[in-house]
Amino acid sequence: MKDTPLSNCERDFLLKAIEEKKTYDYRKMKITFGTDFGCCFVDLGKTRVMAQVSCELVTPKESRPNEGIMFFNIELSPMASPAQSELSVKLNRQLERCLRNSKCIDTESLCVVSGEKVWQIRVDVHMLNHDGNLMDAASIAAITALCHFRRPDYSPEERDPIPLSIYHMPISVSFSFFQQGTYLLVDPCEREERVMDGLLMIAMNKHREICSIQSSGGIMLLKEQVMRCSKIASVKVSEITELISKALENDKKARVPSPLVPVPGVGQVGQGLHNTWGLEEEEDEEEEENDSSGDVVEISDSEEEEVVILHPEKPDKTPTNTGSSSYQRGAATSKKKQKK
């Protein structure tokens, strides 16, 4: 499938609109988590990205028998954008440099038996919707998923899964330049990316250390421009890091650990204890559903879409609204009896 080409009048309009745009703000960012550990969704405006972390025991590389292996895979699926390009190769390489070369994960702690068995941590990032700035969304999703992930801990006494040891959180910030460097935009959307002259990507952590910097598109930048961009990036990165920590904390609270663990070493996630009080079952189920489906942290005040719940048993139905999401309660007795 080929993408529709950009018309000249659209291009002129976009360039004019960029001249009017004064702010260096990110679009509305939302971080949610899935049911299992290591699954993270990031919404940046309309751009949507999902990251999943998984682990496996493998033999280590011969040159580094004491270290675990990190493997990154970015999938620019046809869902995100019908036109396939070499963007996926570029994103893969950038994410690898940002996360692997900066040594943000302690790979020596991933070693189980030196020279024989180490953990291979695999990060799969899926692009669900491409509305610009996939790199930033992917880096946020990847590092958040790594912070969220719990790996099994095999020892004489079996324990709960433990998190990875992460030294710092590198986050990439993208700047796009227009009109030969006259205009600068942070977090370009897809239309703006089409008309930009060049892109500068700076990956930084909250300690103001630059982890990776890349300039592409052939734009020639002055030293002052690069310094200005790095200052803007440090501000943005601290905001985003705060948002990530808040999201992780909210998710931790939502996953109430159960005091009764049926199998040692396995923790229960999301579902509370099976209760036998018939009256409270309905409310508990709603709460469980809301909690275990992940918490949402937003940085702006725009209204959420309303979720309408249909209750066929109850006579009063909530009024219809424009929200396109709907839930139905069937004879859903099987959900309550599930134990993870």
Partner 1 sequence: MMEVRGSSNVSLREFGSEQSLLSRPDGSASFIQGDTSVLAAAYGPAEVKVSKEIYDRATLEVLIQPKVGLPSIRERAQEQCVRETCEASLLLSLHPRSSLTLILQLIHDDGSLLSCFLNAACVALMDAGLPMSCLFCGVTCAIDADGHIITDPTAAQEKESRALMTFAIDSTQRRVMMSSTRGSFSVHELQQCIAVSQKASEKIFQFYRDSVRRRYSKTL
Site for partner 1, rule CB under 8 A: 1-2, 34-36, 39, 46, 48, 50, 52, 54, 73, 75, 77-82, 122, 124, 126, 128-131, 285, 289, 308, 310, 320, 322, 324-335, 338
What is the nearest approach in angstroms of partner 1 to the Cβ of residue 190? 8
What is the nearest approach in angstroms of partner 1 to the Cβ of residue 184? 25
What is the nearest approach in angstroms of partner 1 to the Cβ of residue 273? 18
Q: What secondary structure does DSSP assign to 166-226, as a single string?
A: BS---EEEEEEEETTTTEEEES--HHHHHH-SEEEEEEE-TTS-EEEEEEESS----HHHH
Choose between 25 and 36: whose C-beta lies nearer to partner 1: 36
Choose between 108 and 305: whose C-beta lies nearer to partner 1: 305
What is the nearest approach in angstroms of partner 1 to the Cβ of residue 157? 25
Beta carbons within 8 Å of 212's beta carbon, 6+ residues apart: 94, 97, 98, 101, 102, 170, 172, 201, 202, 203
Q: What angle do CA 42, 176, 5 make, to 5 degrees?
A: 85
Q: What angle do CA 143, 145, 146 make, to 5 degrees?
A: 65
Choose between 284 and 289: whose C-beta lies nearer to partner 1: 289
**Coil, strand, or helix at residue 146?**
helix
The Cα 141–Cα 91 span in angstroms is 13
What is the nearest approach in angstroms of partner 1 to the Cβ of residue 53? 9
**283-296: buried (b, 16+ CB within 10 Å) or exposed (e) per residue?**
eeeeebeebbebbb
What is the nearest approach in angstroms of partner 1 to the Cβ of residue 2? 6
What is the nearest approach in angstroms of partner 1 to the Cβ of residue 79? 4
What is the nearest approach in angstroms of partner 1 to the Cβ of residue 318? 10
Choose between 47 and 241: whose C-beta lies nearer to partner 1: 47
Provide the β-strand partners of residue 126. Answer: 50, 75
Tell me which H or E stretch contains 111. Answer: strand 111-113
Residue from 73, 69, 75 nearest 55 by CA: 69
Choose between 302 and 325: whose C-beta lies nearer to partner 1: 325
Choose between 80 and 143: whose C-beta lies nearer to partner 1: 80
Choose between 129 and 215: whose C-beta lies nearer to partner 1: 129
Choose between 36 and 239: whose C-beta lies nearer to partner 1: 36
Backbone φ and ψ of 187, nearest 5°:
55, 70
Do 261 and 267 meet the contact criterion of CB atoms below 8 Å apart?
yes
Beta carbons within 8 Å of 233's beta carbon, 6+ residues apart: 173, 175, 202, 204
Choose between 82 and 115: whose C-beta lies nearer to partner 1: 82
Q: Fill in the DSSP letter of residue 105.
A: B
Beta carbons within 8 Å of 307's beta carbon, 6+ residues apart: 323, 325, 326, 327
What is the nearest approach in angstroms of partner 1 to the Cβ of residue 153? 21
